[in-house]
Amino acid sequence: MIAAASSADLMLHQLAHRKQGHALPGDFYREEAFYQLDLDHLFHREWIFAGHDCEIPKAGDYFTLQVGQYPLIVARAADGRIHAHHNTCRHRGFKVCDAAHGSAKRFVCPYHQWSYDPDGRLIRARAMDQADFDAAEYGLKPAHAESAGGYIFVSVAPNPPDFSA
């Protein structure tokens, strides 16, 4: 196991000294520290190809995917826009959608039946009828989604790089 403090230096050293035309050293495929560097510096910061917009042609169509440590739902809303959300209920953190793809009028958490619109808004929160509960504050946490040329890209970064380029 590689120490976390030196893993970035070791990765850079191995990249700089690898033989041209050969595969990456085994550490790139086996080491947890290298995997974490990939997550921290690439998958959790950049735009990642998620799928094709033809996979979700109608309102309510969706697919799920995992971006590093983050489970996501990518769905087409009633207005035709594509949204990406963290696939985690805001009530107890349960996974909202287990299916790989499908169509749903609403995403319903199997734990306490909180219901979310494909655009991420909380529609119904069972047993949360208190006057001080504001459903608008408890929609699914958004991830960034963009579509270009039929390709959908997502980013879990708080401030992803500019997509326009």
Cβ of 88: how many Cβ atoms within 10 Å? 19
Whether pLDDT at 165 is above 50: yes
Banded pLDDT at 4 (limits 50, 70, 90): very low
Alpha-carbon distances, residue 138 vs 9, 129, 143, 147, 149 (angstroms): 41, 13, 15, 26, 32
pLDDT (tens digit per residue) in 54-93: 999 999 999 999 999 999 999 999 999 999 999 999 999 9
pLDDT (tens digit per residue) in 33-55: 888 888 888 899 999 999 999 99
pLDDT (tens digit per residue) in 15-25: 888 889 989 88
pLDDT (tens digit per residue) in 52-63: 999 999 999 999
The least confident of 8-12, 101-105, 137-141 is: 8-12
